Chain A
Amino acid sequence: MSKRNLLLTFLFLAVLISLPASLAMGAFDLSFLEAAQIIWSKLSGFTDFQDQRLAAVIWQIRLPRVLLSLMVGASLAISGAALQGLFRNPLADPSIIGISMGAALSAAVVIVLADGVLAANYSMGGISFLAVATFFGALITTFLIFRIAKEGKQVNVMNMLLAGIAINAIAAAGVGLLTFLADNEELRTLTFWTLGSLGGATWLSVGVLAISTFFSLYFLLPLFKSFNALALGEQEAAYMGVNTEKLKLKVIIFSALAIGTGVAFCGMISFVGLVVPHIIRLIFGGDYRILLPTSALGGGLLLCWADNLARTAVIPAELPIGILTALFGAPVFLYLILNRKKLQVK
């Protein structure tokens, strides 16, 4: 088996094991086997599991949340990898080009200025006003950056990065102003939003995320050749038959979609998009044929386990997940940087 397939199989199995393992964790304790049994009984239609209350907890609360974590993690990581490839810069990440901050600004507007509408909707079933607003916030910011960077028929990638930094600063100023205006309750909501949470997971949000994750994976995964060629330079990639303008459009549309939906349902979750592709690159090299699918699986795993810890560490309260993704990811990242020579897999 090739290195790629071996790695993909391993990560896929890890995801499969993480699913019941995560379901077993929580305030209602149950074993790994019981969790697997509940899923199986639901899927097979064989529903005479003894403890219906426990089954409901698993089916209505934990399962959507775990699935959401896997999908949001996958979306964020694959968009991170795609943006890094497009900008030919290992530091590119949704927060660098301003998409996250644009979403944060629209979230802040909703939380601080429209809290009457919001209070009844936040973390309730259905899609909240906040989610819709942040989704469009992310999309509008992306479109704005894209417009600024457009020169005639071409998109200047360097201008896009610089425009992103400027938009990021403007949006951050807006968030700052709204923070100043906010009362204590709003301030608390806003702060928690910027640290992210998967607490609002429902089957509806899982469904929406499933669609957006499917589209981003479906359109970004086959682009591995273009991303590899782009490492040589934009001009050089074009000489090798890559339609670079089409590539830019695809990457921008599908990473904005992935990031937009992720941010809409879970708030800002930093670091996943930056660190997961990096960890994989440090161990397995820069080949996007490996990097794109493994980033998706790795991102899902990181977010899933960060969320498991977030909801079990301080029961009955919950830690904001953004703290944990950084706390998990950063030391692994540092370790890899310090040991990169030894770790290179040939």
Chain B
Amino acid sequence: MDGYTQLAWYLALGIALGVVVLLIPQLLSPRVRGRQTESTYECGVDTIGSSWMRFSISYYVFALIFVAFEVDILYLFPAALAYPESGWRGFTEVAIFLVILSLAILYAWRKGVFLWQAHRAPQSRSTISESAGAETVR
């Protein structure tokens, strides 16, 4: 059995364990039900509306930059493995790659993503990047 099959077994047994651990209390615990037992927790007052609502877009912008970054960084692992044989050309390529990556941060910075201004510009009806950009370039 090679290492990755073993790892799959660890995952499978982990799932089984997790389920078993959640079954034990079903056997041991009391079952009481009051009027409020199953209500959503909101500091003691009744909940107002559902929680599945629209959410600040700033979070999604981070998710977008992250996806771009993370995938690119994974490419650097094979590059790091092949680095010793690659000579100065390897260094130049890694450097160019990293500089282009850094441009992504620079772009997002200029657009004001990191300043978290979405919440402070309620009057703006334009897209988040535009409104934040207009504010931050100043």
**Do A and B make up one complex?**
no
Residues of B in contact with A (beta carbons under 8 Å apart): none
